[in-house]
Amino acid sequence: MPMRKQLAKRQEEVNAALEKVFAAGKNLPQQAIFEAMEYSLLAGGKRIRPVLLLEFAALGGLSAEDAMPFACALEMIHTYSLIHDDLPCMDDDDFRRGRPTSHKKFGEALALLAGDGLLTAAFEQMLSAESKAQPANRLAAAAEIASAAGCFGMIGGQVLDLADQKEKVRLEAEPYAAEKLTQINRLKTGALFRAACRGGLLLAGVREERYLSAAERFADALGISFQIQDDILDVTGNADALGKQTGNDEKQGKATYVALWGLEKAKSQVKRLTESALRELSVFDELGGAAFLSWLVSSLSERSF
């Protein structure tokens, strides 16, 4: 199967599974919260994190069907983070995935609750959905994802990002530090990438350190590359294609890789990190190879949305 069709197939599988998650809530008195959660969860998106989890689980011999509850959980956590990130107290964005952000559609209170609902539903999915994955493996993968979503991961990165924005007046007088940016993005963006890759292996019962370490290095390189490409697209991208406003980083005075390096060096760093990620995949030849993952990484480095 051609790689692009394989990606589309995976994305369709994830979307179909996500559509079923909150079906039981449609006729309940509190159906407004389910409507708000689905509004953001089913609004599209690349589904990269769940696809990564499914592919790494497959390397360990676990079927997509049995890994799907964890793939859905990752997308729920990612979506909750976007809802909260768009709130006026955070980035105050009006559009996401080509439509008004959750708080613009439903108001701040329901948007906040929709994010909370998605986060808690993610853990319900991991711990209660049917799967042939062994209980110990499910717990290990859930713990990996929980750590990535919390203060040692994504939330910690957001805290650092907010602190950086408060210091923007001082930072404007000195060069942005690449090390500081990477520290923020390794947590804020990279944590869920690591959870997808390591979590997929753990869910499938793969515990050998050489595989887990390679997955972590792969995810680190991919996560930073992904963020740099996002920064590039915020400057060069088309708002309609991206589904969100462009130029916000500069308007808000946020530290970005483009602000630090300029466009050309940022692009060269995407290439360097992509090559680094590809090298880490070679160890998985022992598990049947990762041709699709290699294609996916290269494709993401060239994306325009």
pLDDT at 26: 84
Token pair in block for residue 71: 């793939």
pLDDT at 254: 72
Token pair in block for residue 242: 């991206």
DSSP for residue 175: P
**100: which strand partners?**
95
Token pair in block for residue 274: 């992509």
142 alpha carbon, distance to own chain's centre: 16
Residue 227 has pLDDT above 80, yes or no: yes
Q: How high does pLDDT run on average in the chain?
A: 91
> What is the DSSP code string of 18-80?
HHHHTGGGTTSTTHHHHHHHHHHHTS----HHHHHHHHHHHHTT--HHHHHHHHHHHHHHHHH
Average pLDDT for 135-144: 97
Q: How many whole angstroms separate alpha carbon 212 and alpha carbon 60?
A: 11
Q: What is the CATH number of the domain that holds 48?
A: 1.10.600.10
Average pLDDT for 259-283: 95
Classified as helix, coil or strand, 156 is helix
pLDDT tens digits along 170-200: 444 345 578 888 999 999 999 999 999 999 9
pLDDT at 288: 87
Total number of domains constituting the chain: 1
Q: Which residue has the higher pLDDT, 114 or 253?
A: 114
223 alpha carbon, distance to own chain's centre: 9
Long-range CB pairs of 11-20 (<8 Å, 24+ gap) are 11/46, 11/47, 11/51, 13/54, 13/64, 13/68, 14/47, 14/50, 14/51, 14/54, 14/68, 14/71, 14/72, 14/75, 15/42, 15/47, 17/68, 17/69, 17/71, 17/72, 18/42, 18/72, 18/75, 18/76
pLDDT at 275: 97
Token pair in block for residue 86: 């768009």
pLDDT at 248: 63
pLDDT at 68: 97
pLDDT at 55: 97
Residue 243 has pLDDT above 90, yes or no: no
278 lies in which domain range?
3-302
Q: Which residue has the higher pLDDT, 121 or 240?
A: 121
Least confident of 16-30, 136-150, 235-249: 235-249
Residue 169 has pLDDT above 50, yes or no: no
Q: Largest alpha-carbon pair distance within the chain? A: 56
Residue 40 has pLDDT above 90, yes or no: yes
Residue 131 has pLDDT above 50, yes or no: yes
Most confident of 23-37, 71-85, 151-165, 179-193: 71-85
Q: Could you tell me the CA-to-CA distances from 113 to 72, 91, 107, 145 in Å, in that order? A: 19, 18, 10, 21
Residue 210 CB-half CA count within 13 A: 7
pLDDT at 168: 55
pLDDT at 256: 86
